[in-house]
A and B are shown apart, each in its own frame.
Chain A
Amino acid sequence: MNDSRSMMILFTQVFIFAIFAMSYDLLLGFTGIVSFGHAMFFGIGAYAVGIFMKQFEPTLPYFLLAVVITILITAIVSYVVGLLTLRLKSHFYAMLTLAFASLFLVLAEKWRTLTHGNDGFTFRTPELFRDRLDFYLICLVSMIVVFLLLNRFTNSPLGKVLQAIRENEQRTESLGYSVIQYKIIASVVSGVLAGFAGILYSVSLRFVNTSVFTMDITLDALLMTIIGGVGTLIGAIIGAGLIEFAHHWLTELAKVHWIFERWIIFFGIIYILVVMFFPRGIVGTVRNIKMKSKKRVIEKSEQQKAAG
């Protein structure tokens, strides 16, 4: 029972980061946009909740207000950032998003009356979230809902156009699709969901500090998405799970055997091995293998037909 409580917290963490990683996958995997600043949306959500709960009352109405504010701000910011894809290509866009996220980091650092700088502050959450089991379930349901929504979204006609943009932007345009609008839509949906993940994150910690705006957070999303397999959504979930659990097990091992004291080395090796053995991420590679064997079966039967 106790053991499962601890696991429960770990899973809660997985669910939250799975949402965050899925929001990133929408950009990276489906629209082909690389952002190094995804943490800015995460951070906006995390701080919005923290500040509301701290400055006002830790009640549900204020929480909902914080959610609304998060949606508003992340939508506006991601709209502007999405517009910039018009001007900036690949690395240049990625670095600009990094700059923006860093400016949010500086803002959080400097606006100390509200944020307490990088020390951060703790706050109370509404009754609803206090029980860890309840919160675990809320996160689980949120993740499933986000997955279903995004799954529907990416398989919709609109989603197909996003993939077309990823493949060949200019051609998509000449087919009569207004590329920038699609990019903005993807950017906004992704930004808002990342903000939502940020909300859950800071509720789970009941604490927020400037770390939510750092490059590390963006890298987490990036790694989880890539490890799982870009453009698969489910990969983001698996990636989140894999990273959190590998982390958990390796730190546990560190206590068991001195070899693992520098467990971060093994963590790094996992990344390297994933690329070597799962070049398209776990889900991507497995799907690939499946597709190949399916093709082989088809080919065989065709050969038999031809022979017969």
Chain B
Amino acid sequence: METLFETKDLTIAFGGHIAVDHVTISVSANQFKSIIGPNGAGKTTFFNLLSGQLSPTEGEIFFRGENITKLSSTERTRKGIGRSFQITNVFPNLTVLENVRLAVQSQAGIRYQILSHFKKYKDLEAKALEWLEMVMLEDKQETLAINLAHGEKRKLEIAMLLALNTEVLLLDEPTAGMSLEEVPAILDVIRRIKEKGDRTILLIEHKMDMILDLSDSIMVLFNGRLLADGTPEEIMQNETVQSAYLGGIHS
């Protein structure tokens, strides 16, 4: 299988605290990989390094063989690495539709257009609506994002990522706080994307059933270090994972 991206000795330290510690992985195209690990293990930080929110103190990141370590998050998004955020991160005083439309607009490469009036971009809006329907948020399209309930914000977050239509999707606890009823629906969306087979997905989650259900492979971070990387079965057998992460519930 073709390797889509890889990290070499990826490391970041905040002051004295090493949050990600020499992590070397490679992810092949169209794979579904999950990342698990205790709170504070460095999962989100690892995403931040991949998406360019943070730059590493050491190590490199390659995307399709190209070294992208020095690229900004903007450039990485344009290259095809999109992400969602663990802490809801939307445009609070814009409507739900406008939020998604901004993502669609970026995806369409309409960035510095001044002359053509925005209203002409009906199809952008139509596309944005499609994404909203996909996450079951279409009836909230005129609501300001700040007024959404928590779970609704999570859905918006996902819609914005999907609208970017990037080849790589980095999903940071997409369903945290989402209701029991809707988790399956969102999982469905993710599954469908996976099944189309043209996306590479990295997922951070603490919901083990979901991870086991979706993942081709799982990597485990512990104190910033890569503890294990393997198939779901292998990982579930891992002693440390059992005792220090899952605890009694899954044993």
Complexed CA–CA distance, A164 and B98 (Å): 9
A176-B78 contact given A152-B117, A156-B113, A158-B114, CB 8 Å threshold: yes
Chain A residues with CB under 8 A of B85: 171
Q: Interface residues of A toward B: which range?
A: 20 to 34
Task: Verify if B122 is at the interface (C-beta below 8 Å from A).
Answer: no
A168-B77 contact given A155-B117, A178-B72, CB 8 Å threshold: no
Name the prevailing secondary structure of the A interface residues.
helix
Task: Verify if B14 is at the interface (C-beta below 8 Å from A).
Answer: no
Report B145 CB to chain A, min CB distance, Å: 9
Chain A residues with CB under 8 A of B89: 168, 170-171
A157-B105 contact given A168-B89, A174-B53, A176-B74, CB 8 Å threshold: yes
Closest-by-CB residue of A relative to B106 is: A176
Task: Verify if B251 is at the interface (C-beta below 8 Å from A).
Answer: no
Chain A residues 150-177 with CB under 8 Å of chain B are 152-153, 155-161, 163-164, 167-168, 170-177
A152-B90 contact given A173-B72, A174-B51, A174-B83, CB 8 Å threshold: no
Instruction: Verify A176–B91 contact, CB threshold 8 A.
Output: no
Task: Name the residue in A167, A172, A179 with the highest tally of chain B Cβ atoms < 10 Å from its Cβ.
Answer: A167
Task: Name the residue in B114, B115, B164 with the highest tally of chain A Cβ atoms < 10 Å from its Cβ.
Answer: B114
Interface string of B96-125 (1 = CB under 8 A from A): 001001110111001111111111010000
Chain B residues with CB under 8 A of A179: 74
* B74, B116, B118, B160: the one within 8 Å of A178 (CB): B74
* A156, A167, A175: the one within 8 Å of B160 (CB): A175
Complexed CA–CA distance, A173 and B93 (Å): 17
Shortest beta-carbon contacts, A-B, top 8: A176-B77, A167-B91, A176-B106, A157-B113, A156-B114, A157-B110, A178-B74, A175-B106
